[in-house]
C-alpha cells in the first residue's frame, strides 16, 4: 500500500467539503511526526521514549486509576450514595478486554499525548449502558455538523458511525468543540525534541569513552587511506567503555594528545536537567514528583501538602472533564452524578489523619459533621449500633441526623 493510499484509508469514510490540517494527529502518525528544531520527529511514540514524559504520563494516569468512582443521588437532605450496576463498569470491568484501572490510565494517556480520548458506550435495547469500549484516537475521526458531532470509527477494518450521545469524548486542555490540544504537540514539543537529541548524544558520548577525546598527529605525511585505517584501529581497540583503561601503543612517530571535555559538552549534558523541568512544567507536574530531586517544591513541606497541591492543580482538571462527560452522556439529568473519591490521595500521616477523624465526629467538643457510621464506612468498617447520630455540643447529647 502506498503512502497516499495509507493516508486515504485512515480517513474513510470520506465526507464531502471536509478538510484536514497538516497538523492532524493521524497525519503526524503516518508521516512520522513533525520534526522539531533539533531534527527529531516528535509524536506519541517518540515522546514516551523520553523518561520525563513517561514519568509525567505514568504519574497522572496512575493517580487517576487509583481513585474509586461513586454514584450519588441528589435529594433535599443533601446527597445519597446509590448502588448501581454502573458502579462495576466504572470501578472494576468496563469491557471484556479491559479493567477499569487500565481504561482510566488509557484515557489519561490519550489526554496527555493526543489531547482527546474516546470511549464508545455500548447500550442494550432499553438504552442502558452495559459496556465501555476504549478506542485509539487513530481510529476516530470527529465530524461536526451544526451543534452535533458524529464520530466515524475505523476499528480493525470495520467502519461505522457513532452519535455523540453514544461516545464519551473526554477532552484535554484547549478543547474547541471538536478537538483538544496535545501537550507534546504544543507546550512540550521543542523540549521533547531536544531531550531526544541529548539522549542520543549522551549515549554516543558515553559509548566513546565518556570522558576524553584524542588527537593523533605525526611528523610524517599520512595519506587518506592510512588516516581511515588509523581511525578504524583506534575505534576498535581503544574507544568505548569496554576498552577503557587499556594501554595505547603508537609507532611510526605518531603522537597522542588528550583533549579534555569542552565546556559545550558539559553544558549540553547539564541541559538534560533543564529539559526534565521544562517537560514537567508542560504537564503540570512538580519536577520532584518525577525524580528531579535537585528541585524544590513551592507547595509546602511534607507528603500531605505536596499531595494536596498535586490533586488541586494537576489532577482536578482531568477528573472534572471525565465526570462532566460521563454525567451528561449517561445520566442526562442533575439528579444522579458520579464523583471521584479523593480521600486516599489527600491523606496525611497517621497522626494527622486520626486527629482529623476525631474532629469530624465531634471528638474535640466541637460540632460533628460526620456520624460514626459514616466515618466507619469510609474506613470500610461495618456500622455499629447507635452510630447514625450526629454529635451536637450545644445540647451535650447526640441528636438524630
pLDDT digits (tens, 9 = 90+) for 158-194: 899 999 999 999 999 999 999 998 888 887 777 788 7
- Given the DSSP bridges, would you call strands 69-75 and 78-81 parallel, antiparallel or unpaired? antiparallel
Q: How far apart are CA 79 and CA 89, in angstroms?
A: 22
% of residues, the chain, pLDDT over 70:
66
Q: How far apart are CA 174 and CA 284, in angstroms?
A: 15
Q: How far apart are CA 329 and CA 323, in angstroms?
A: 10
Residues of the chain where predicted confidence (pLDDT) is lower than 70? 1-39, 199-220, 222, 227, 235-271, 293-304, 344, 346-353, 364-365, 380, 394-401
Three-class SS state of 12: coil
pLDDT digits (tens, 9 = 90+) for 106-160: 999 999 999 999 999 999 999 999 999 999 999 999 999 988 999 999 988 889 9
Give the HSE-up count for residue 73: Cα atoms under 13 Å, Cβ half-sphere: 7
Amino acid at each position: 500500500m502506498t503512502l497516499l493510499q495509507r493516508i486515504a484509508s485512515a480517513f474513510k469514510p470520506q465526507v464531502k467539503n471536509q478538510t484536514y490540517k497538516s497538523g492532524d494527529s493521524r497525519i503526524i502518525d503516518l508521516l512520522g511526526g513533525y520534526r522539531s528544531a533539533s531534527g527529531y520527529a516528535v509524536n506519541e511514540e517518540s515522546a514516551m521514549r523520553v523518561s520525563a514524559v513517561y514519568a509525567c504520563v505514568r504519574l497522572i494516569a496512575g493517580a487517576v486509576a487509583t481513585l474509586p468512582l461513586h454514584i450519588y443521588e441528589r435529594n433535599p437532605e443533601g446527597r445519597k450514595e446509590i448502588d448501581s450496576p454502573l458502579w462495576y463498569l466504572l470501578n472494576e470491568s468496563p469491557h471484556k478486554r479491559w479493567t477499569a484501572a487500565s481504561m482510566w490510565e488509557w484515557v489519561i494517556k490519550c489526554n496527555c499525548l493526543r489531547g482527546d480520548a474516546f470511549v464508545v458506550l455500548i447500550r442494550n435495547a432499553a438504552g442502558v449502558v452495559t459496556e465501555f469500549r476504549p478506542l485509539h484516537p487513530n481510529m476516530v475521526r470527529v465530524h461536526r455538523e451544526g451543534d452535533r458531532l458524529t464520530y466515524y470509527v475505523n476499528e480493525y477494518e470495520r467502519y461505522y458511525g457513532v452519535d455523540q450521545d453514544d461516545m464519551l469524548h473526554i477532552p484535554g486542555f484547549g478543547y474547541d468543540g471538536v478537538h483538544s490540544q496535545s501537550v507534546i504537540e504544543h507546550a512540550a514539543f521543542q523540549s521533547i525534541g531536544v531531550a531526544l537529541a541529548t539522549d542520543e548524544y549522551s549515549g554516543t558520548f558515553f559509548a566513546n569513552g565518556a570522558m576524553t577525546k584524542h588527537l593523533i598527529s605525526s611528523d610524517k605525511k599520512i595519506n587518506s587511506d592510512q588516516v581511515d585505517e588509523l581511525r578504524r584501529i583506534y575505534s576498535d581497540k581503544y574507544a568505548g567503555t569496554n576498552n577503557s583503561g587499556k594501554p595505547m601503543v603508537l609507532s611510526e612517530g605518531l603522537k597522542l594528545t588528550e583533549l579534555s571535555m569542552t565546556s559545550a559538552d558539559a553544558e549540553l549534558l547539564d541541559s538534560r536537567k533543564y529539559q526534565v523541568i521544562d517537560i514537567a512544567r508542560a504537564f503540570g507536574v512538580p519536577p520532584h514528583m518525577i525524580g528531579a530531586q535537585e528541585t524544590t517544591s513551592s507547595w509546602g513541606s511534607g507528603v500531605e501538602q505536596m499531595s494536596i497541591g498535586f490533586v488541586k492543580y494537576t489532577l482536578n482538571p482531568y477528573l472534572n472533564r471525565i465526570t462532566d462527560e460521563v454525567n451528561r452522556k449517561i445520566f442526562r439529568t442533575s439528579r444522579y452524578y458520579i464523583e471521584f473519591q479523593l480521600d486516599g490521595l489527600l491523606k496525611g500521616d497517621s497522626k494527622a489523619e486520626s486527629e482529623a477523624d476525631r474532629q469530624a465526629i465531634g471528638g474535640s467538643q466541637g460540632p460533628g459533621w460526620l456520624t460514626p457510621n459514616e466515618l466507619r464506612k469510609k474506613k470500610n468498617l461495618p456500622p455499629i449500633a447507635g452510630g447514625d447520630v450526629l454529635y451536637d455540643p450545644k445540647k451535650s447529647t447526640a441528636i438524630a441526623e
